[in-house]
Amino acid sequence: MNDLQLFGLPARQGRWLFLPLGITAMLCLGTVYSWSIFRKPLTTALTKQGITISATDTLLPFATLLVVFAILMPIASRYIERYGAAKVTAVGGTIVGLGYFLSSFANSIPLLVITYGLIAGAGIGIVYGVPIAVTAKWFPDRKGLAVGLTVVGFGLSPLITAPLAGLLIDTYGINNTFRIFGVAFTAILLAIATQLRFPPTDWQPSPQFAASPTDAEPDRLLSSPSFFALWICYAIGTLAGLMAVGIASNVGKEVVGLDPSMATAAVSIFAIFNGVGRPLFGWLTDRLKPKMAAIISYVMILIASIVMLNTGKGQVVNYFFAFSLLWLSLGGWLAIAPTATLSMFNPVNYTKNYGIVFTAYGAGALLGTLVAGSAKDIFGSYTNAFIPTAILAIIGISIATFALKPDAKSQQILS
């Protein structure tokens, strides 16, 4: 297999081109993190039609997408090797594009929940695992680096898609923006699908590389107290982070008084922190163990919450500081949780185990939406949403301190 060619290069060199392909796919999928850019024009468009909508209503399509994504991703990942990377990406990419395109015709929140939340969310859940699986297979010698670089695209997506969405909405309107994104995402993901494939089963990056044994031992994830501690910690971390994603632009405009262009730019800046959080907390989790990395994340959430509770008109520095911490923490949990799953439980069962743990991401999205929307609807300001995040951060610190530890029986199996 030493003569295997990829993109006209020997496979050992050509495999690196799967990384930009995977990052590009993730940039398309991660446009969900730019949802706060859509909320204000969406509210304006529906209000002109005589439809009264609440803050919670405008967050429902966003939350639904994340919940569907979190549920479907681990299910779809089990079928990638059966049907092939290209077919799964093509099907999922078409569904993503269809969801965005149909959203342009939605004239109510319930319809947006179906088109954007259910349909686009299903497409994202189908595609998300493919670039990760492909790079992991082609880089058995550098799996962490390859997968880490691939998923950074999801977190950094708003750096590109937020200003692009803002420009398109200002130029063509929100409905045409959904259509443009739908067509573009379908075309890009279908093009990428034609290039994705797995290596032959006996391929190795070098004759010296020896694959890890794959003999599986039974796992006990759902009966382990450590699982419930990790699941709750992950849900709390993503609740605060995804809440911040959903309301970033609106808080900038309504609480701090930023003009729309500055609020859009802020989302792009926060995306950098989201992207940086993944490798940073991956490194911290390796060095300090999941417990300490989780505690650091919760301290950041607590500080950010306290700062936002004392932020008002014109306090731009407070806003940027607090939301940077919240987006950084969100990116951090997308490194802490998989690393913790790998280190706390039998690593042979990692794919199955992390699929179950990842459902906490969907729970965090749903609860974060309810917290943010209820605060706005009941109190008239998003500021009060940071009271529950501060309380939950303290709860998270306690759970991480006393319960976030390796499962004892899994460790006995491995010892």
Residue 382 pLDDT exceeds 60: yes
Neighbouring C-beta atoms of residue 242, cutoff 10 Å: 30
When the pLDDT of each residue in the chain is averaged and rounded to a whole number, the result is 90
Determine the Cα–Cα distance for residues 148 and 153; give it in Å rounded to an integer: 9
Portion of the chain with pLDDT greater than 70, in percent: 94
- pLDDT, tens digit (0-9, with 9 covering 90-100), for 6-32: 888 888 889 999 999 999 999 999 999
Residue 42 · residue 58 · CB < 8 Å? yes
Question: How far separated are the first and last CA of the chain, in Å rounded?
Answer: 35
Mean pLDDT confidence for 337-359: 84
Report DSSP letters for 333-380, one per residue: HHHHHHHHHHHHS-GGGHHHHHHHHTHHHHHHHHHHHHHHHHHHHHHS
Mean pLDDT confidence for 286-307: 95
- pLDDT, tens digit (0-9, with 9 covering 90-100), for 267-278: 999 999 999 998
- pLDDT, tens digit (0-9, with 9 covering 90-100), for 77-135: 888 888 999 999 999 999 999 999 999 999 999 999 999 999 999 999 999 989 988 98
Q: Using CA atoms of 293, 296, 301, 306 in order, give the dihedral in degrees to the nearest 10.
A: 170
Using 50, 70 and 90 to split pLDDT, how confident is the model at 144? Answer: low
- pLDDT, tens digit (0-9, with 9 covering 90-100), for 45-79: 998 888 888 999 999 999 999 999 999 998 998 88
pTM of the model: 0.87
Q: What pLDDT is recorded for position 249?
A: 94
Determine the Cα–Cα distance for residues 263 and 249; give it in Å rounded to an integer: 5
Q: What pLDDT is recorded for position 302?
A: 98
Determine the Cα–Cα distance for residues 226 and 341; give it in Å rounded to an integer: 10
Q: What pLDDT is recorded for position 412?
A: 55
The DSSP call for residue 79 is T
- CA 404, 409, 412, 413 torsion: positive or negative? negative
Q: Which two tokens stand for residue 18?
A: 């799967």
**What distance separates the 2 farthest-apart alpha carbons in the chain?**
68
Using 50, 70 and 90 to split pLDDT, how confident is the model at 215? Answer: very low
